[in-house]
Amino acid sequence: MSLLAIDSDTLDIRPWEDERTVQGGFDPRSAYVERFWLALIGPSTTWLLRRIAAGLDASPGGFPMPLAETARSLGLGDRAGKHSAFVRTLSRMVVFDVARPAGPACLEVLRRLPPLSRRQLGHLSAELQRDHEAWMTSQGQLTPGESSRRRSRQLALSLLELGEDPEEVERQLMRWRYHPAIANESVAWAFQRHRQALEAASGFAQARTGSLTEAAVEPTAAGSR
């Protein structure tokens, strides 16, 4: 793998509007990217793409990314050295065509990732290839509106599970250009699912505590007879 040559302490990040994702694509924080792209590019590159996506949400025109600080925040140590883990992570984005150099200290990065190509799918396990085929088949049966609503719901649920409050989740969905009505409905759906999951977990914990208490009491009761 050819490594990037970076002589600056800061990398200028800019959005790459590529024809592959003009009509769609997947947010780096989506379930598709976590399930399929991650298996191809690795966790550190996936997390970096997510970090950059958040930065481009806040600054759509681009932003300066401090390399050493970003490397440490991803658990990749210091960025020093052309063969460092962080430089390899940056280079992997270019190798897999989700970013491209745009100057000595500038990198253009896709805001949305395209579906995996046939060649890329060939690097996945047989199980993941079957899962991908099933996923694409199920998506092909959805209308564009239904597909957008499903992605919006999954993103809302992920944000709630990360601890975001519902109002902020709704604002974030609209920043990602989801229609306000879809954003509102998605948050309501995700909040209900999230609450049900918490209630189920709480009920399981209570039942387990009760069974452990009964188990501790039974020997004492038997010994007193």
Per-residue pLDDT tens for 109-120?
Answer: 999 898 888 899
How distant is the alpha carbon of residue 221 from its chain centre? Answer: 53
The pLDDT, as a whole number, for residue 224 is 45
Q: What local confidence, expressed as pLDDT, does residue 149 receive?
A: 81
- DSSP codes of every residue in the chain: -PPP---SSEEEEEEE--GGGTT--B-TTSHHIIIIIHHHH-HHHHHHHHHHHHHHHH-TT-EEEEHHHHHHHTT-----STTSHHHHHHHHHHHTTSEEEEETTEEEEESSBPPPPHHHHTTS-HHHHHHHHHHHHHHHTS-HHHHHHHHHHHHHHHHHHTT--HHHHHHHHHHTT--HHHHHHHHHHHHHHHHHHHHHHHHHHHHHHHHHHHHHHHHHHHHH-
Sequence spans of domains, the chain: 10-114, 142-219
Q: pLDDT tens digit string along 69-103? A: 999 888 888 765 666 888 889 999 999 999 999 88
HSE toward the beta carbon, residue 102, CA cutoff 13 A: 16
Amino acid code (one letter) for 129: Q
Is 12 or 201 the better-scoring residue by pLDDT? Answer: 12
Amino acid symbol at 62: G
pLDDT value at residue 225: 44
Separation of CA 186 from chain center: 18
Name residue, tokens 């052309």: 82
Joined tokens for residue 220: 């004492």
> Model confidence over 23-78: pLDDT tens digits?
668 889 888 999 999 999 999 999 999 999 999 989 999 999 998 899 988 888 87
Whole-number pLDDT of residue 80: 59
